[in-house]
Amino acid sequence: MHEVDSSEQAFRTCGANGFREACRKAGLQLLEPTMSVEVTAPEDYTGAVSGSVAGKRGKIIAIDTKRNATIVRALVPLGEMFGYASELRNITSGRGNFTMHFEHYEAVPYALSEEIVAARREGKEKR
């Protein structure tokens, strides 16, 4: 780099601006891990369980009944599943359980991605 060309900071700023503009034009989206979730609970709790899953941005795939138990299968964002064991215990009086495993990545809804990006920017400004 020649001294009269520009400063290192000018190159960094230009690069960051170019990257930001390229991302905007490409329509980049924020992705989140989505889990395949299976919740098992007594039939009496079907409504409460399906409501709790739907309230976590879950997409219910199937609801089956087997030996007086309801099995709710759904796709739920991982970020929504933190603390679910306690919630499920509360809504089923300790009689429900669930399993989950990674399924795929999915685009975060626009409004939520805006909140995430704003919170991230705010965190950087505090440093």
Is residue 120 one of the residues assigned to a domain?
no
Query: Which pLDDT score, from 0 to 100, does residue 55 have?
Result: 94
pLDDT per position in the chain (127 positions), as tens? 555 667 888 888 888 888 778 777 777 788 999 999 999 999 999 999 999 999 999 999 999 999 999 999 999 999 999 999 999 999 999 999 999 999 999 999 888 888 888 888 887 666 6
Rounded-to-integer distance, Cα 9 and Cα 12, Å: 5
Whole-number pLDDT of residue 123: 75
Q: Residue 61: what pLDDT?
A: 97
- Residue 86 falls inside a structural domain: yes
Residue 83 resides in a domain: yes
* Any domain includes 96: yes
The predicted structure's pLDDT at residue 3: 59
CATH code of the domain covering residue 68:
3.30.70.240
Residue 7 is assigned to a structural domain of this protein: no
| Global confidence as pTM | 0.74
pLDDT score at 26: 77
6 inside domain: no
For 36, 81, 118, the CA distances from 78, given in Å and listed in that order, are: 9, 5, 20
Domain that holds residue 69: 31-107
Q: Number of structural domains, the chain?
A: 1
Domain for residue 112, yes or no? no
CB atoms within 10 A of CB 103: 14
